[in-house]
Structure 1
C-alpha cells in the first residue's frame, strides 16, 4: 500500500521535466503551462473534498480500483497527447485519481496497522518521496532514454497495472456501511473557537505550497533558461531537491510538536527561498541548489507543523470539515500563485517573474513567523492569569 501511494505521487510529478519539451513542441506560453499544472491541483482538490470519505462506506478496494482505472486512462492520454488540450484533460483526470487514491490508501494503511505509529509516518513521508522519485526518474528517462515524451508513461502504465493486480488480491480492510451518497457532500468549516489557532498558520501553508507549485511548474524552465542547464535530468533534480529534502525533514522531525516546528520551519522556508533567489540573481546554480535544499527542509517542517496543528486543535467530530479547509488552503496556495507566476513570465519575462515570485514567498513566510511570535507572546501573557 505504501508503494502504491508513492507510485501515484511519482506519476503526478513525472510530467514536470517534460513540460519544457511540450512547450517547445507545441509553442504555448508559460501561463498556459501553469494553467495545466493548476488543472491537476483543482482535480485533486475536488476529489479530496467529494470522494475523500467514500471508501469508509464502499470499502477500500472498490475506490482504490476506480482510482487506478482513472489513472490508467490519464496515462494513456499522456502517452498519445499531441496538443495541450489532451494534456490538460490528462492532468485533470490524474488529479481526480490521485485525490481518491491518497485518501483511500492513507485510510487502508491505518486499517492495516491501527495500533502503531508507522502508518502516520508513511502517509506523511510517502507523498513527498513520490514527488521526488517521479521527477528524478522522469528526468533520467527523458534525458537518456528513447521517446522522451512517452517512455516514462509506458513505465508508469506497467507499474500501475501491477498496482491493480495487488489491489485485486488485497484483503478488504473496511466493511461496507450505508451513507455513501451523503459522504459525497463536501464539509468545510473553520469553527469560531479554532480561528485563533488556524489563522496564524495560514500564511505558512500558502507560502509552503506556493513554493512547491513554482518548482513543479516552472522549476525546470528556470534551470534551462536562467542557468543554461538544458539537461532534462537537471529539470527533474530541481523538483527532487525540494521534495526529497522535505520528505527527509518530515521523517527526522516527526516526533517534534507542531507548536515547536512552526517558527523554525517558516525561517528555513524563507531563508532557503532567499538563497535560491540569490543564486538566480548571481547566476550561481550551486547556490540555488543549496537554497532549494534549505527551503525543502522548511517545506517538510511546515507540512508537519501545519497539519499537526489542525490535528491537535480539531475535535473528533470537526476533523473532516477542518481538514477539508486545510486542503483548500494548501491547494489554492499551490495552484493560484503558480498560474499568476506563469502570467507574469509571459508579461515580464522568466527572470523578473521568478524574482517577484520568490520575494512574495519570503514576505509571506516572514508574516507567518511574526504571527507565530505574536501567538507565543499572547499565550505567555495569558498563562499566568490561568
Structure 2
C-alpha cells in the first residue's frame, strides 16, 4: 500500500470514528453541560457536524482544485484532532458546538481531495471500495467504542480517536515532502506539487461553476441518487427505533442498526474488486436499498442487511460516475465536493421531509421513501460511457 493511500484510509476511519463516538453518549454530555433535550443547543450538539460539513464541502472542493490535495487532507486531520481535544477538555455547550462544527469542517476539507485522488488511480473501483469500507468501519467502531468505554469514562471513545488522530497527523506532517515526490513507477501521481495556487478567477466565475456542475440537468441523476442513497438510510435510522419500539428490544435494535454498517462494509470490499460498471452498481444499489426499506417493515434483520448492501454498492458506483462526468479535470475536486454535499444534504434533510408523512403512518412513510428511491432509475444518465 502506498503512503498516500494509507494516509487517506486512516484519516477517513478516524474522522468517521470521532464523529460517531459522540452520538451514543450525547445525552450524558448534554446533561453535564446543563443542556436540556429538545432545545436548540441539544440539536446543534447533534447536527453541528452535518452543518459544518454542508457549509464547507463546496468551498474546500474549490480549494482542492487549486492546492495540493494532501495538504488539505492534513488540514482535515488537524481539525479533527483539535475538535476532539475541545470535546475532551470542556463541558461548555458553546465550545462543544464549535467543536462539532469543526468536526464537520474536517469532513468538508477531507472528502473532495480524497475522492479526487482515489478517482485518479487505475484501480479506482478497488480503492474506493476499501475507502468506503473504512468509512463504515469508523462509523461502526465509533458507536461500539463509545458504548464499551462509557462505563470507565463517558468521553473514553472521544479520547481514543483524538489520540489516534494526533498520531496520524504527526505521520502526515513528517511524510509531507515524501508524499509530494512524483513516482513514475506508480499508477498515480499527485496533480500539483508546488505551493502556489492556480488562478482563482472571480467570485462570479466560481458561482457559475457551482451552478453549472451542481444544477445542470445533465448531472441530475447522479446528484439525486447521491441525495437519496444517504437520505434513505437517514430516514430509517431516524424513525425505525420508534416504529420498532414494540417489536424489538434495545439490544436487538442495536444489532439491526449495526448490520447496516457491517453489510455495507462487506459490500464495499466485494464490489470494489469486481469489474462491474458503475451504472450497474448504482442501479443495483437503488433496487436493493429500496427493497430493504420495504422488507424491514416486517423483517428488520434481512431488511437492514439489504439496505446496507444497497447503499454500500451505490456508494462505490457514485464517485466513479462523478469521475466520468464531462467536467474539466481542474474542477474534479469541486465536483467531488458537490457530490459529498448532496450525500450530506440527503442525510440531513430527507428525514426531515419524510417525517411530515409519519402522520399517515410509518408504513406509508417507509413505502413513500422506497418509491422515491426507485423513481431515480427513470432519470437520464449523462455521464461518459465506461466498461
Q: TM-score, normalised by structure 2?
A: 0.74
2:346 is the counterpart of 1:338 = no
2:286 is the counterpart of 1:266 = yes
Moved more, 59-68 or 299-308: 59-68
Of 214, 228, 243, 1:207 maps to 228
2:136 is the counterpart of 1:131 = yes
Of 307, 314, 320, 2:326 maps to 314
Closer, same or farther: CA 334–366 of 1 in aligned 2, 3 Å: same
Of 12, 22, 26, 1:15 maps to 22
2:378 is the counterpart of 1:358 = no
Deviations 1:17-71 (A, max 9, x none): 3345557774413997665544322312332211235356553554333322221
Whether the 8 Å CA contact 1:141–1:148 is kept in 2: the answer is no
Deviations 1:322-371 (A, max 9, x none): 444433332211211234567888xx6xxx885565333212113123x1
Aligned to 2:270: 252
Structure 1 CA distance for aligned equivalents of residues 238 and 96 of structure 2: 14
Structure 2 CA distance for aligned equivalents of residues 105 and 246 of structure 1: 20
Report 1:272-351 matches (<5 A).
Answer: 272-278=292-298, 287-317=299-329, 319-340=332-353
Of 69, 80, 84, 1:75 maps to 84
Whether the 8 Å CA contact 1:142–1:151 is kept in 2: the answer is no
Structure 2 CA distance for aligned equivalents of residues 76 and 353 of structure 1: 43
SS in 2 for 1:175: coil
Structure 1 CA distance for aligned equivalents of residues 336 and 364 of structure 2: 31
Q: TM-score, normalised by structure 1?
A: 0.74
Aligned to 1:178: 196
1:294 to partner: Cα distance: 0.3
Aligned to 1:379: none
Closer, same or farther: CA 316–89 of 1 in aligned 2, 3 Å: same
Whether the 8 Å CA contact 1:57–1:180 is kept in 2: the answer is yes
Whether the 8 Å CA contact 1:65–1:164 is kept in 2: the answer is yes
Structure 2 CA distance for aligned equivalents of residues 313 and 300 of structure 1: 21
Structure 1 CA distance for aligned equivalents of residues 109 and 198 of structure 2: 14
More helix by percentage: 1
Structure 1 CA distance for aligned equivalents of residues 54 and 221 of structure 2: 22
Whether the 8 Å CA contact 1:70–1:94 is kept in 2: the answer is yes
Closer, same or farther: CA 108–303 of 1 in aligned 2, 3 Å: closer
Of 217, 232, 238, 1:195 maps to 217
Whether the 8 Å CA contact 2:111–2:336 is kept in 1: the answer is no
1:274 to partner: Cα distance: 1.1
Aligned to 2:158: 153
What CA RMSD, in Å, does the superposition of the two structures yield over aligned residues? 3.9
1:150 to partner: Cα distance: 0.3
Structure 2 CA distance for aligned equivalents of residues 245 and 172 of structure 1: 33
Q: How many residues align?
A: 352
Closer, same or farther: CA 138–331 of 1 in aligned 2, 3 Å: closer
SS in 2 for 1:313: coil
Structure 2 CA distance for aligned equivalents of residues 60 and 5 of structure 1: 14
2:6 is the counterpart of 1:5 = no
Aligned to 2:261: 243
Aligned to 1:283: none
